[in-house]
A = this chain, B = another copy of it.
Amino acid sequence: MPLEIRPSQALRLWRQVHLDLVRDGEADLSARQVAILLTVYLELPPHTVRGLATQLGVTKPVITRALDTMGKLGLVSRRRDEADRRNVVIQRTVAGALAVERLADLVVDRAREIGGS
């Protein structure tokens, strides 16, 4: 059950959602931060710094810094793994879940408005 979408529709959808994100003053997340956020909220836990770095193909400091920023924004939180205290487990937050939900609704709504061609 593939999702059918034409290139011109894809571009209009992409543009409109980004316009909404910019205009709503939503925290201007970079592509990396979006990838991290959605990975944490869509993939099965546990999530570690190392694991995210591997999945994104970036270095660990990139993840650490992104988590710093997103932590300040309340989108994720960190907890030491008591089983192996070297690890840090990235956890979801209520605010983060709401932000993800808003994004989903935004995409769905804008997709609905995208007419044919």
The chain A residues found within 8 Å of chain B, CB to CB, are: 1-15, 18-19, 21-23, 28-32, 34-35, 38-39, 41-42, 55-58, 100-101, 103-105, 107-108, 111-116
Contact = CB atoms under 8 A, between A and B. Distances in A.
A11 B103 contact: yes
Contacts of A105: 7
Given A22-B31, A31-B22, A3 B14 contact: no
Given A11-B41, A18-B34, 4 more contacts: A3-B111, A3-B112, A11-B42, A15-B38
Nearest to A100: B11
Which of the listed residues A31, A101, A112 has the most CB atoms from chain B within 10 Å of its own CB?
A31
